[in-house]
Amino acid sequence: MADERWFSETLTPGVRLSFEARRVLRHERTDNQELALFENDVFGRVLLLDGVVQVTTADEFIYHEMMAHVPLLAHGEPRDVLIIGGGDCGLAEEVLKHSSIRRVLQVEIDPSVAELARTHFGEINAAAFADPRFELRIGDGAAFVRESDERFDVVLVDSTDPIGPGAVLFTREFYAGVRGRLNPGGILVTQNGIPFLQTREFADAFANLGATFRHVACYVISVPTYFGGHLALGWSSDDVAPLAVSTEALETRFAAAGIQTRYYSPRHHLAAFAAPRYIEQALESAVEQGRKAGLGDP
């Protein structure tokens, strides 16, 4: 068809993944990045930033459920949560499903992304915007954790990849700032890309986390639109080891929460930390490098 349009993800040099756009909803250069929003027959509404897939309405539940419920149920009684990035606000909606939450503060750098999400992604975020516990603040997340004196039980970094405005969110300085914002027993979870394709970025980030926190691990998920193998989510805490909570305790907490999920389960919660060996080896090496560098006080 003469009016067909295709958008390509170009995150990895030498590799291109293309999506047919049945209808283009937005395509523009914002103050921070190139933004493309379109409809695809397989993945629904698709958002790309700087040529990288951020979210699709078809498979967002996988990423958002695992980023939210793993740390929140491991914590046990989270009350205050900080989200850095996460402009589609689907993660905030998952967090707010927990009745123990009294406040979710989200700091998103690009107002265009937040406005677009509210207009076009209501099926995954309308409940968050209707919830008085939710506050969306437009600003620089790195500056916020550096300058704020607020404290949180869980911090979730739902960032773009370490390019453009998202690069600062993978640095030692940023992780040290987050550490200063955590309450005792606090947990940080980070988006750490596809280890198979982003080997150097994965190693650098976990070296910085290893230099900053006492307990560092990652758990993996499979999201169809994030191609190239497993997606890694980083786990960091000075107080809570990733496997310290039993399956029985997680099942009790999950049942009490009354949350309906499509991907998360207590058994999968723990199983996700059993990463393939190549990821496990890369993680161990990176964390050890960070410890030896003496960049922090883990």
Q: Looking at residue 146, which CATH number applies to its domain?
A: 3.40.50.150
Tell me, yes or no, whether 257 and 198 share the same domain: yes
Q: Which pLDDT score, from 0 to 100, does residue 57 have?
A: 97
10 Å CB burial of residue 77 (0-12, 13-18, 19+) is exposed
CATH number at residue 43: 2.30.140.10
> Could you tell me if residue 16 is inside a domain?
yes
Q: Which pLDDT score, from 0 to 100, does residue 296 have?
A: 46
Amino acid at 276: P
Tell me, yes or no, whether 249 and 136 share the same domain: yes
Tell me, yes or no, whether 117 and 223 share the same domain: yes
Tell me, yes or no, whether 70 and 159 share the same domain: yes
Helical spans, DSSP H, in 151-276: 172-179, 199-210, 247-257, 266-271
User: For a pLDDT cut of 90, what percent of the chain falls above it?
Assistant: 86
Range of the domain at 92: 60-293
> Could you tell me if residue 222 is inside a domain?
yes
Tell me, yes or no, whether 242 and 199 share the same domain: yes
Q: Which of 18, 37, 56 lies at the terminal end of a domain, its last residue?
A: 56
> Could you tell me if residue 298 is inside a domain?
no
Tell me, yes or no, whether 151 and 31 share the same domain: no
Helix (H) / strand (E) containing 153:
strand 152-158
> Could you tell me if residue 103 is inside a domain?
yes
> Could you tell me if residue 250 is inside a domain?
yes
Q: Which pLDDT score, from 0 to 100, does residue 10 have?
A: 84
> Could you tell me if residue 227 is inside a domain?
yes
Tell me, yes or no, whether 183 and 254 share the same domain: yes
Tell me, yes or no, whether 11 and 69 share the same domain: no
Q: Which of 32, 56, 80 lies at the terminal end of a domain, its last residue?
A: 56
Tell me, yes or no, whether 103 and 9 share the same domain: no
Catalytic, out of 158, 238, 239, 297: 158
> What is the rounded distance in angstroms from the CA atom of residue 116 to the CA atom of residue 113?
5
> What is the rounded distance in angstroms from the CA atom of residue 129 to the CA atom of residue 93?
8
Q: Model-level pTM? A: 0.94
> How many structural domains compose the chain?
2
Tell me, yes or no, whether 21 and 137 share the same domain: no
> Could you tell me if residue 165 is inside a domain?
yes
Q: Which pLDDT score, from 0 to 100, does residue 142 have?
A: 96
Contact 89, 125 (CB under 8 A): yes
> Could you tell me if residue 82 is inside a domain?
yes
Q: Which residue has the tokens 């030896």?
A: 292
3-state secondary structure of 9: strand
> What is the rounded distance in angstroms from the CA atom of residue 254 to the CA atom of residue 149?
31
115 token code pair: 């406005």
> What is the rounded distance in angstroms from the CA atom of residue 199 to the CA atom of residue 205?
10
Question: What residues in the chain have per-residue pLDDT under 70?
Answer: 1-4, 294-298
Tell me, yes or no, whether 91 and 208 share the same domain: yes
Tell me, yes or no, whether 46 and 122 share the same domain: no
- With CA atoms as reference, report the closest residue to 272 among 263, 282, 259: 263
Tell me the backbone φ, ψ of residue 222, rounded to 5 degrees: -115, 110
String of b and e for 239-252 (b: at least 16 CB within 10 Å)? ebebeebeeeebee
Q: Which pLDDT score, from 0 to 100, does residue 4 have?
A: 59
Is 158 an annotated catalytic residue?
yes
Q: Which pLDDT score, from 0 to 100, does residue 46 have?
A: 96
